[in-house]
Amino acid sequence: MQSYLLSAAGVIFLSVIVSLLIPEGKLNKTITFVMRLICIVVLIQPVTGIFNISPTDADGNFFDSEYVSAQYSEHQSLQLGLLLEKEFGVKAECSVSVVYEEGQFKTDKVEVALIGADADFIEEIQAYLEKAGYINISVYEKST
């Protein structure tokens, strides 16, 4: 509170000094208006502190990383399923887990459930995903 009172008194004092030093004319009116505006902003500063709305979450991030990770995971899962169908001609249910660590999104693990494929495709798809840079890969045949 003491720092607020000192800053408010300082701004008002500076406003008075500036208004006394500036010569008469159009520039005087403009500068006086600006100084009054600054005084008003400084004086209402405690009121704006009541409505302190911050876009950060509890971790200090400027967005909801869990929501973005979930959306990114869902999108990556869908796209990986489409890619495997295009490349290998097999239907697959994919689950890509994306996490937010150290300021960036990273793929945590990948699960691919092949529908109606044989063991050759399992090894081939495993190698394909490793080459693509995925980690913690689990490829298996889904029983119907």
| 70 in the same domain as 138 | yes
Q: What is the DSSP letter of 133?
A: T
Q: For residues 15 and 84, state if they share a domain.
A: no
pLDDT of residue 56: 55
Say yes or no to pLDDT of 61 above 70: no
Q: Are residues 20 and 80 in the same domain?
A: no
* Same-domain check for residues 71 and 30: no
**Same-domain check for residues 6 and 32:** yes
Q: Does position 144 have pLDDT exceeding 70, yes or no?
A: no
Which stretches within 1-144 are classed as H helix?
2-21, 26-43, 45-50, 65-88, 119-131
76 and 27 in a common domain: no
Residue 60 lies in a domain: no
8 Å CB contact between 141 and 117: yes
pLDDT of amino acid 75: 92
Please indicate, yes or no, whether residues 21 and 86 belong to a single structural domain of this protein: no
Closest C-alpha to 101, from 61, 74, 136, 130: 61
If phi over 0 gives left and psi between -120 and 50 gives alpha, with beta otherwise, what is residue 133? Answer: left
- Same domain, yes or no, for 104 and 76? yes
pLDDT band at 7 (very low <50, low <70, confident <90, very high): confident
Residues linked to residue 141 through DSSP beta bridges, in sequence order: 114
88 in a domain, yes or no?
yes
What's the confidence (pLDDT) of residue 68? 86
Q: Which two tokens stand for residue 144?
A: 């119907």
Tell me: do 128 and 76 sit in the same domain: yes
Query: 70 with 18, same domain?
Result: no
**What rounded mean pLDDT belongs to the chain?**
83
Q: Give backbone dihedrals phi and psi of 112, rounded to 5 degrees, phi first.
A: -125, 120
Q: Which domain holds residue 28?
A: 2-50
Asked if 86 and 19 sit in the same domain, the reply is no
The answer to whether the beta carbons of residues 134 and 128 sit under 8 Å apart is no
How high is the pLDDT of residue 101? Answer: 84
Residues 40 and 82 in one domain: no
Q: What is the pLDDT of residue 105?
A: 86
The model's pLDDT over 72-123, given as tens digits with 9 standing for 90+, comes to 899 999 999 999 889 888 888 999 998 888 878 888 899 998 887 777 778 8
Q: pLDDT tens digits, residue range 20-60?
A: 888 888 888 888 888 888 888 888 887 766 665 555 555 55
Tokens for 70, please give them.
């979930």
Domain holding 102: CATH number? 3.30.300.30
